[in-house]
């Protein structure tokens, strides 16, 4: 029996990786819906290749172009913020939620209503809206599974474990492209350099987050949300090879880790495939490579972003929403050449001192609209701080 699947953000890197996994098992999947923001040409190509029933192009200006390219096909075309519940009328097996940014939160909420399992690759949905998602998954009896390599690994390592059994949970970080350059040189790095990740093929924004280590700030916050373990047990270690994704130290003395090549198709396939399906080919273990793996504590002077983790816990439940919005704005300004690289983390720290900060940080959000209010305030404040 075919598994019915929805892919939100199918033209992005996670969406494409999901389709690559499905392509190797094509007869076993029925793609009910693909969505994209602007890349309508790729969306159309995917729809035709995989015989998709419905597509949604979020940007309305591309609706007619999408419709024209799919003329004569059986594909239904939707645009804008059309709710998934108005497109899909049956419970599907999986939704891959891979829309980048806060824009992915509402579609993720909608997908919970129509999915047995939601595989979640959208950091912002977790960081900003986990409390809403948690209530929704209980109401609709939907399982939410993490796709990020670190959280997928923690999930696998801690199955059947509780907080009393665990001493320490370690999330690894590659250190990004600037791991071995001096702090003095960091002042002059360019966007082109910051987006060259040494191990992963990622978008520009997440590549910059890796360079600042803000991606690990968000991943630790995500882990707090996903897993019911003591927040003080989480730790970050630099591991330049990106082969070990998470390490769990248990109170019985055992240390377990999950190792695999930096390829998102591995966690994706392990979430959406069953044992008898075709999994992506993995490289043979290389003893020389294993013998040359490195782990070390992050340099807090080079990566001051690490200190933001404690501030997210200290200042109020909506602090992560403010940090996420601030970081998105600052990375965008850096990529446009309007601020230097080091200003990203420095400016986030400045917003904590703003006279209005605590008012927003202490809010307990109950809706997407409330999240957007806090998000908008943070973005506006960041842009004011960056005006010279």
* 240-274: pLDDT as tens digits: 998 999 999 999 999 999 998 888 999 999 998 87
Q: Is residue 102 part of a domain?
A: yes
**pLDDT computed for residue 195 by the predictor:** 84
Tokens of 77: 């075309």
Q: Are residues 268 and 254 in the same domain?
A: yes
pLDDT of residue 228: 86
What's the confidence (pLDDT) of residue 343?
Answer: 94
Reported pTM = 0.90
**Which domain, by its residues, includes 247?**
148-300
pLDDT for the residue 330: 96
Residue with tokens 């130290």: 249
CATH code of the domain containing 96: 3.40.50.720
Domain boundary among 125, 146, 167: 146
The verdict on residue 307 lying in a domain is no
In this prediction, residue 276 carries a pLDDT of 59
Residues 129 and 191 in one domain: no
Domain assignment of residue 305, yes or no: no
Point out the residues of the chain with pLDDT beneath 70. 200-201, 275-282, 388
Both 259 and 184 in one domain: the answer is: yes
End-to-end CA distance of the chain: 61
- The reported pLDDT for the residue numbered 204 is 83
Pair (265, 345) in one structural domain = no
Tens-place pLDDT, residues 46-61? 999 999 999 999 999 9
Query: Quick one: 117 and 176 in the same domain?
Result: no
The side-by-side arrangement of strands in the sheet containing 143-146 is 76-79, 54-57, 29-36, 3-8, 92-97, 115-120, 143-146
Same domain, 285 and 322: no
Report the chain's mean pLDDT, rounded to a whole number: 92
Whether 124 and 177 share a structural domain: no
Residues 16 and 35 in one domain: yes
Which are the contacts of 240, defined by CB distance < 8 A and separation ≥ 6? 174, 175, 179, 198, 199, 294
Last residue of a domain, one of 116, 146, 176: 146
143: left (phi over 0), alpha (psi -120 to 50) or beta: beta
329-387 pLDDT, tens digit per residue, is: 999 999 999 999 999 999 999 999 999 999 999 999 999 999 999 999 999 999 999 87
User: Is 343 a member of any domain?
Assistant: yes
Residue 153's pLDDT is what? 96
Q: Is residue 308 part of a domain?
A: no
Listed residues 241, 272, 300: the one ending a domain: 300
Q: Are residues 116 and 170 in the same domain?
A: no
Contact of 190 with 196, CB cutoff 8 Å:
no
């Amino acid at each position: 029996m075919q598994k019915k699947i929805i892919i939100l953000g199918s033209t992005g890197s996670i969406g494409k990786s999901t389709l690559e996994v499905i392509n190797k098992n094509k007869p076993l999947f029925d793609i009910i819906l693909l969505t994209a923001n602007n890349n309508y040409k790729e969306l159309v190509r995917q729809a035709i290749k995989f015989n998709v029933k419905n597509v949604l192009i979020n940007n309305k200006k591309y609706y007619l172009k999408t419709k024209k390219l799919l003329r004569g096909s059986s594909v239904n075309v939707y645009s804008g913020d059309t709710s998934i519940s108005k497109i899909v009328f049956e419970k599907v097996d999986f939704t891959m939620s891979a829309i980048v940014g806060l824009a992915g939160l509402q579609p993720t909420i909608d997908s919970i209503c129509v999915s047995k399992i939601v595989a979640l690759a959208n950091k912002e949905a977790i960081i900003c809206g986990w409390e809403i998602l948690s209530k929704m998954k209980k109401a609709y009896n939907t399982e939410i599974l993490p796709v990020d390599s670190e959280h997928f690994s923690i999930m696998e390592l801690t199955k059947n474990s509780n907080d009393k059994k665990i001493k320490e949970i370690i999330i690894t970080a590659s250190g990004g492209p600037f791991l071995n350059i001096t702090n003095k040189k960091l002042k002059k790095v360019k966007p082109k350099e910051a987006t060259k990740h040494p191990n992963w093929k990622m978008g520009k924004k997440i590549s910059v987050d890796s360079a600042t280590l803000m991606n690990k700030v968000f991943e630790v916050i995500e882990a707090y949300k996903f897993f019911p373990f003591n927040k003080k047990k989480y730790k970050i270690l630099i591991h330049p090879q990106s082969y070990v994704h998470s390490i769990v130290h248990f109170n019985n003395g055992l240390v377990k880790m999950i190792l695999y090549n930096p390829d998102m198709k591995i966690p994706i396939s392990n979430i959406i495939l069953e044992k008898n399906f075709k999994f992506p080919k993995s490289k043979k273990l290389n003893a020389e490579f294993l013998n040359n793996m490195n782990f070390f504590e992050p340099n807090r002077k080079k990566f001051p972003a690490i200190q933001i983790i404690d501030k997210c816990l200290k200042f109020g439940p909506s602090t992560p929403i403010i940090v996420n919005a601030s970081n998105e704005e600052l990375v965008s300004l850096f990529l446009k050449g309007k601020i230097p690289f080091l200003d990203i983390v420095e400016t986030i720290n400045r917003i904590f001192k703003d006279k209005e900060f605590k008012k927003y940080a202490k809010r307990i959000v109950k809706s997407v609209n409330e999240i957007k209010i806090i998000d908008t305030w943070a973005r506006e404040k960041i842009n004011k701080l960056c005006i010279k």
